[in-house]
A and B are shown apart, each in its own frame.
Chain A
Amino acid sequence: MRINGKGLIDRSTPISFSFDGKKVQGFQGDTVASAALAEGRKIFGRSFKYHRPRGVMTTGSEEPNALVTLHSGAAQDPNMRATTQEIFEGLQVRGQNAWPSVDRDLMGVNDLLAPFFGAGFYYKTFMWPGALWEKLWEPMIRRAAGLGALSGEHDTSRNEKAYAFCDLLVIGAGPAGLMAALTAARAGADVILADEDARLGGRLLLEDEEIEGKPGHVWAADVTAELMGMDNVRVMTRTTVTGAFDQGTYGALERVAQHVAAPSNDTPRECFWRIVAKRAILAAGALERSVAFANNDRPGIMMAGAVRGYLNRWGVAAGQKVAVFGNNDNAWRTARDLKSAGVDVVAMIDSRKDATGEGDFPIITGGMVSDTRGRSGLREITVQSASGDQKFEVDCLGVSGGWNPSVHMMCHMNGRPAWDEATQSFLPVDNMVPGLKAVGSAAGKFSTQAVLEDAHAEAISALLDLGLTSADTVIPTAEDGAHNIEGLWEVPHISKGYKRAWLDFQNDVSTKDVRQAAKENFASVEHMKRYTTQGMAPDQGKNSNVNALAILADATGRDIPTTGTTTFRPPYVPVSLAALGAGARGKGFAPERFVTSHQATVDRNAPMIEAGLWYRPSYYPRPGEKTWRDSCDREVNMVRNAVGVTDVSTLGKIDIQGPDAGKFLDFVYINMFSTLKVGRVRYGLMLREDGHVMDDGTTARMGENHYVMTTTTAAAGQVMKHLEFVHQVHCTDMDVRMISTTEQWAQFAVAGPKSRELLNSILDEKIDNESWPFMACGEVSLSGVNGRLFRISFSGEHAYEIAVPSRYGDALFRDLVSRAETLGGGVYGMEALNVLRIEKGFITHAEIHGRVTAFDIGMGRMVSAKKDCIGKTASQRPGLNLDEREQLVGLKPLDGAQQLSSGAHLFTKGDALTADNSQGYVTSVGYSTSLECFLGMGFLVNGRARIGEQIQFIDRLRDIITTVEVVEPVVFDPEGGRARG
């Protein structure tokens, strides 16, 4: 019911939306909860386990009951809190965890079975027989329990992440947050003020009180306007700070489009902020807590502060006949506000015998609500007092068991709050989170005046830390009532029969469950929590933790401080994974790196493989070729018989210069480079400090003090980092400089008997075997473009790699390929490249996978005895040089037609095929067109001594069981004559 003249809504702007298909008429400024309450809706949801009807309890993000699902299809958004969801025209809201609807839920039958569903029910009931857990019990429980559901469709919404930096982050914009932000902002600090709500003011919007002689919400609006007008202030509305992390970093979730009727496709739904603040102030206020009494979960039973909140902010009377039940002075405000708005206040019930409040309504001191009636909406309450039991007909009951300061964030770095007897609450202690200070109600200050003074003082203290002096900011005058409270956690249970007093409304945990846990010796608060599931629902126990531990304290005969709290962890409110992972969906998952020949390769319909972040061609299909093997075989033959071209720009290139460059390379490679002649290239192998192989490649000496190192594609970044490390840590004296030039040069392999013929058609100065023998390098010119030419071979053929500045890469690639085609050759891809190198026994990271040594790959003797190098000492450990180690070998099937596969295991003939008999494994395979059979490379125990042996080859995944012959790794042209020719 709306009350005329009350509320901060804009009654000139009506907005309609639907709740479970029924039209609801609200106004600009309404939430789903306020608009639906105004129309008399009682049931907003069904509880998790028992499907009990539940109504709205609060006005904020802590709401345990009124969880709803928004939208449908891919945009379906479950577990949204009706209390914070702003309405907009056309919004579709659906109740959840109920069938067919929250008003008539057939799953409510669960509630009748409740006596069997007590604490630890799952653990006790579904333990036996064990085999049934996954098949029967778990699916059954999953179906029956739960809250909202996802659609199962691909989420197409856009989300965002962002970074922000400030001097002072103020978390919460109630009176404390506004005061702190204003004080700091006027002093010139760079301030971020974040609040969950669309409108700043916090409880000032929910209360009927004055600051500086004007209504609290007006003061809040004035301060908001001043802050919004300042360049050094960023006001972030609809933004919940979710966690405190190291180094003054805070997570914050901004709801960007969830209140907008038709956001554009480009509008992010949510934005997850990482805010780095030099200092932070937690002005998160306090949350009102309930009292446990029988049937305290009926729709219509709300927090007292929420009842007057709906009245003052939204002009909504949550009931027509309202009672208020509390243990503190604050609860009386609800009765007074309702009365002055003309709502029938049936009774003000205060559990304190000496309560002294006044009001024009029936007052019962020393009384407690002991039971209620009304399954689908509160109808009656029973009040026990010295004068016996009285029953009252009511449709709404406001309850206040006191207020819990929001210490959540203060505990994110494992700090524990301290119990304060006077306020009957846990308060933050000093230095729980470095640089973060709780102020106002979050620090246990409960009058508005005390809140403003505290916030002002702590803002000044933060300014001092920041090296700023505060300008004169006068603390306004405000309400300054005392916070009188007498602890009340549970109304003594006098009713007969099976009745439950609820603690955790979201997870259906009652006082009985907590007592049962204690009885079964789950007496630690952390054990009780897990045994009963109290505090493990989406509200994370904001509404129930303190109450539950108070009951546990009572059940175990301890006091509250000894019992202690459970651990608060981020996030403060549920955060969608879509927001946390914003930008990482689809192509955002990883960047794509493209070579300059990419477009030309795509034009030739080559399927791509991913090599790290790079995209490389797998093979280049030609008309008539049915499988990749057809193309691959043709490309291999082309290289062996004519000439092939492929892009090798992805290999790492590192420019190394300086008087000590040679010495430096001697230290990072196992072999010598200082002795390499200018204009020559050498193959090199480098080890990690643990003596295992890190990477291999060729390094060219371009000048006296100038080398160009190449790395594998996979290890380019790792090697660059390694070189920097070695220089900065081990070789600080060496005058050597290095920088990546991978991207500067587009580099192409030109391989095959006709490679020189092809190159001579484009080089400005022709080459021959005298001027460019095998392993020669130098600068060349192509149509006036300066390039580099290296006579190196990864195919075993007479081959070169030619490099030009990347801007010419596309043009040169197209030119090389078309010229190769006129010579009977063409372009080849990674599959052919792989076959060519397997025939030659050349290794890749399939072989040097991180667990092999130079000894294992047959390069032990390359480790120079004349010098030290990284990994040398470690590589000489006896265990790394044993015959029993798995050594690199070649493998050839006895049956020429037999397919081989990498990943297969090798077994000595006659051995049982069991895991512990494995003699090694296969790392690479390919079909050799030259030998007309498959070839493999792999590691075999004492392999070099077993050349010629027949062994069993087993691939369980692909069902390949065959016999192979162990051969030398180099199968094709072992003398290497082709490369030198």
Chain B
Amino acid sequence: MADYIAKTPCDGLLPQTIGSLTLTETAVDRMTSFMPWKGREKTASKALKAACGVAFPGPNETSASGDVQAIWTGRGQCFILGVELPDGLSAEGALTDQSDAWAVMSLRGDAAVDVLARLCPVDLRDAAFKPGDTVRTEMQHMMVSVTRMDDGFQIMVMRSFAKTAVHDLTETMKAIAARA
């Protein structure tokens, strides 16, 4: 019987440090999309909170509790990271395993915002995009989910784009470092 080796999406690509900027992969063991059934938005949020401590986040918001993070990802849809959700939650909404579908990266450093300002056409100013805020946008030609953390940005791209995403991010990091 074989023991299949698991690989992360950014295997062999990260971490990278360029100047004072770092790009690392965040290992995500469990990630599940949750879409409440019709008319059950409120009860779904309560059930989610009861199940793992986080409420269903509003548009462009996240909610967190300990290591569990819920990221709004679209109309009536959020991703819950860091916890195995109980099957019972499917009474409140559609659960779909996304644990292997996304490359999750963290970009840190004082100039992290300048890197993303060259890749994503969204307002990332402190006042407009505070820690805990999230946005679905594009990064170069890829659709991404960007979330502001206390000390940087969490960037999620679909797994197959990992190499291009790391390339685009690191090339921009080099350009930012060269300007400093």
Contact = CB atoms under 8 A, between A and B. Distances in A.
A268 B178 CA distance: 8
A726 interface: no
Given A266-B178, A807-B6, A162 B118 contact: yes
A82 interface: no
Interface in A763-818: 782-783, 785, 804-812, 815
Task: Find the residue from A274, A591, A735, A762 having the highest chain B CB count within 10 A.
Answer: A591
**A-B CB proximity, top 7 nearest:** A266-B178, A737-B94, A593-B160, A806-B100, A743-B101, A807-B6, A657-B94
B136 interface: no
A189 B117 CA distance: 20
A657 B34 CA distance: 11
B77 interface: yes
Contact of A744 (B76, B99, B177): B99
Contact of B2 (A163, A594, A655, A783): A783
A356 B2 CA distance: 100
Interface string B1-28: 1111111110000000000000000000
Interface stretch (B46-54, B56-64, B120-128, B147-155): B120-128
Contact of A655 (B8, B96, B123, B178): B96
A595 B9 CA distance: 10
Interface string A587-619: 110111111100000000000000000100000
B14 to A, nearest CB: 15
19 contacts: A162-B117, A267-B175, A587-B167, A588-B140, A591-B140, A594-B163, A734-B38, A735-B37, A737-B37, A741-B98, A741-B101, A743-B101, A744-B96, A744-B101, A783-B1, A785-B4, A807-B6, A807-B99, A808-B6
B178 A264 contact: yes
Given A162-B117, A592-B164, A744-B99, A739 B174 contact: no
Residues of A in contact with B, size category: 35 or more
A805 B7 CA distance: 10
A745 B141 CA distance: 23
Interface of A: 158, 160-165, 190, 256, 263-264, 266-268, 274, 276, 583, 587-588, 590-596, 614, 655, 657-659, 734-735, 737, 739-745, 762, 782-783, 785, 804-812, 815
Contact of A762 (B2, B35, B120): B2
Given A162-B118, A163-B120, A163-B122, A658 B178 contact: no
Nearest to B174: A266
A810 B94 contact: no
A739 B74 CA distance: 11
Contacts, number: 137
Contact of B5 (A266, A782, A811): A811
A807 B98 CA distance: 11
A91 B93 CA distance: 66
For this complex, into which size category does the number of interface residues on chain B fall?
A: 35 or more
A3 B99 CA distance: 72
A659 B90 CA distance: 12
Given A160-B118, A583-B140, A807 B100 contact: yes
A158 to B, nearest CB: 6
A591 B164 contact: yes
Contacts of B122: 163
B39 to A, nearest CB: 8
Given A805-B97, A810-B5, 9 more contacts: A162-B118, A266-B177, A267-B179, A592-B161, A737-B35, A742-B158, A782-B4, A807-B7, A808-B4
Nearest to A164: B117
